[in-house]
Amino acid sequence: MKQIQVILTLDMDNIPSNFNEILVEEQRIVAEWKEAGILEHLFLREARNGAILIFKNIDEDETKAYMEKLPFFQLRKSIEYYSLIKQF
């Protein structure tokens, strides 16, 4: 199964004052993705400066389009995409 791993790092030096409101919207969107079957895993980074998302059943271009819809996308410091082939 082909999967896309996304590593999102937030710019923690420039977090807006309404961060908690943005977080609520972010959580709503990723819950929709999980329910739709395109988001397999979401890992929060221990340093609390971003997340790792594992998408399935969509290609890299689709993944990028989905990521651009996230509120945290605007707060990114960096974002990396990796195409993976799941072995087991």
Q: What does the domain layout of the chain look like in residue ranges?
A: 2-85
Q: Which residues contact 20 (CB under 8 A, 6 or more apart)?
A: none
pLDDT tens-digit readout, 32-57: 999 999 999 999 999 999 999 999 99
pLDDT tens-digit readout, 53-78: 999 999 999 999 999 999 999 999 99
> Tell me, what's the pLDDT at 1?
75
> CA-CA distances (angstroms) from residue 13 to 5, 7, 23, 78?
25, 18, 16, 13
pLDDT tier, 87 (very low <50, low <70, confident <90, very high otherwise): confident
pTM for this predicted structure: 0.92
Which CATH number does the domain 2-85 belong to among 3.30.43.10, 3.10.129.10, 3.30.70.1060, 3.30.470.10? 3.30.70.1060
